[in-house]
Chains A and B, each alone.
Chain A
Amino acid sequence: MADRKQSANPSGEEQIRALYEQAESPTAKAFEELVSKPSFGSLLARSAENVAALSRIGTDLADVALRNLRIAGRADITRLARQLQRTEDKLERVLQEVEQLGDELGHRAADGASNGRDPTGRERVKADS
């Protein structure tokens, strides 16, 4: 009974919440429609271009300032990191070759064992010969 009375006479806060719930869905939809317009896309794209350009200019300026102070800037760190990565790329390829060769040798040894040959391909000396 009390519940029914409460739902029949919602409090001020409940009314506000209900109003918000009613308003939220159409507002969200309206905003979604707004952002899906090509004009909004152009605005966003142009803003992204400007922010990217500004950040580039800022970074370059900071790098010049740091370099004049004989301190390594971001560009120097990046260059160093790239060199490390190139070395890592080469090491990775070497590692893969080594593993591949190891696998091939393993297969050859297994085949050799079953054929009575050693991994180097030479005929195994039989104990009785």
Chain B
Amino acid sequence: MSTVERIVRSPLHALEFANVLLTTPDAVVGASEREVIWTHRGTTLYRYRSSSREYPLPLLLVFALINRPEIFDLRPGGSLIEYLLEEGFDVFLLDWGSPGEEDADMGLDEYVCDELHWAIRETLRASGSDELTLMGWCIGATLCAMYCGLDRGALDASARPGPEREASRNPVRNLALLTMPVDARGSTYATWIGDPEFDVDAVAEQWRVVPGGAVDFANGMLKPVTNFFTTYLRLWQGIQDGGMRRDAYQPMAKWVADNPDFPGKAWSQWIRMMYRDGTLVAGHARLRGMRVDLGRIDQNLLVVTAGADHIAPRPGTMPVFELVSSEDVTHIDRPGGHIGLVAGSAARKEIWPEMADWLRERSER
């Protein structure tokens, strides 16, 4: 296309550009059929039934507290959940919902000791299995690791107060942690909020729920030129060259822009644990007074890291290998970014098959 032609066509391109941006909220994400198994407060447990279920062990996907879990089921042909169903797994998804001010008192304690604990119980009840695979992404992975790092007896007692009973068996057979931060004190975030003068608790108290937009803005500021400028420039160039795929761009753009608020208590705990004190990695973290010891993790363990991950950089995940007591440990490291692990063509071709192979070998009865 000649320069003159481009100039002549630029009003059309501008219209197309505006149309893509304006219709992005209408893009369909999370289209796979699912049923609600359990709800509590804003939390919902979904089940995706596989028409070719081969493995009895259910797989529970646990999402982060920022963004929405639709990234696991972004679009037909580009959905991790759809892929896992095709591979014969019985998939459950834990969706934390969109917290409001009334959820300001939700801390990591509540997310791990109540919501996750109860969701696991409901997953087992619905599937009829006595074990499961827990797969978490980003903060969701850390929540899963914390869950497995709790003492079972203490957890049972906290969930069901009363006379002392025999501790239940940990039902998590396999633990898959995708881009999990355990010690982020070396990250750019830590530079921003590590300053003791920044009063995390005051901000959490004043905001009650930290606006999702603020969290997203902070994430964007980690790579300001790429996130706030280059993305749109690439879209414009794609429209000019005729190579822009609306079905690929819009679901991702919609997902990126959908940012639920972060409950103030959980946010403040997360900042302290991850970016300031490093209590999780030091073994001093406590949930409801119970010590979280990652050394208690003895499940079959899969850790997936991404070399170009700027949100949960790989060095922040690596300490987990020195902490866990699992005998079966697998590490998949790929050059992509934080989101590239669970969405995108490279994920479908390379990472998902590897994860499915790992699960397959460990999901027989």
Contact = CB atoms under 8 A, between A and B. Distances in A.
Interface of A: 11-13, 17, 20, 24, 27-28, 31-32, 35-38, 40-42, 44-46, 48-49, 51-53, 55-56, 74, 77-78, 81-82, 85, 88-89, 92, 96-97, 99-100
| Highest count of chain B CB atoms <10 Å: which of A12, A32, A97 | A32
Contact of A31 (B195, B207, B225): B225
14 contacts: A11-B2, A35-B224, A40-B192, A41-B191, A41-B193, A48-B203, A49-B199, A74-B101, A78-B100, A81-B102, A82-B102, A82-B105, A96-B160, A100-B160
Given A44-B192, A45-B198, A28 B230 contact: yes
A82 B6 CA distance: 57
Contacts of B223: 28, 31-32
DSSP majority for the B interface?
Answer: helix
Given A48-B203, A96-B160, A13 B3 contact: yes
Interface string B221-247: 111111000100100010000000000
A44 B194 CA distance: 12
Contacts of A42: 195, 197-198
Interface of B: 2-3, 6, 40-41, 100-103, 105, 118, 121, 125, 159-160, 188, 191-195, 197-199, 202-203, 206-207, 214, 218, 221-226, 230, 233, 237
Given A12-B3, A35-B222, A52 B203 contact: yes
DSSP majority for the A interface?
Answer: helix
Given A11-B2, A24-B230, A44 B218 contact: yes
Nearest to A54: B206
B206 A45 contact: no
A14 to B, nearest CB: 8
B206 A53 contact: yes
| Highest count of chain B CB atoms <10 Å: which of A17, A41, A52 | A52
B230 A45 contact: no
Contact of A85 (B102, B192, B193, B230): B102
Nearest to A13: B3
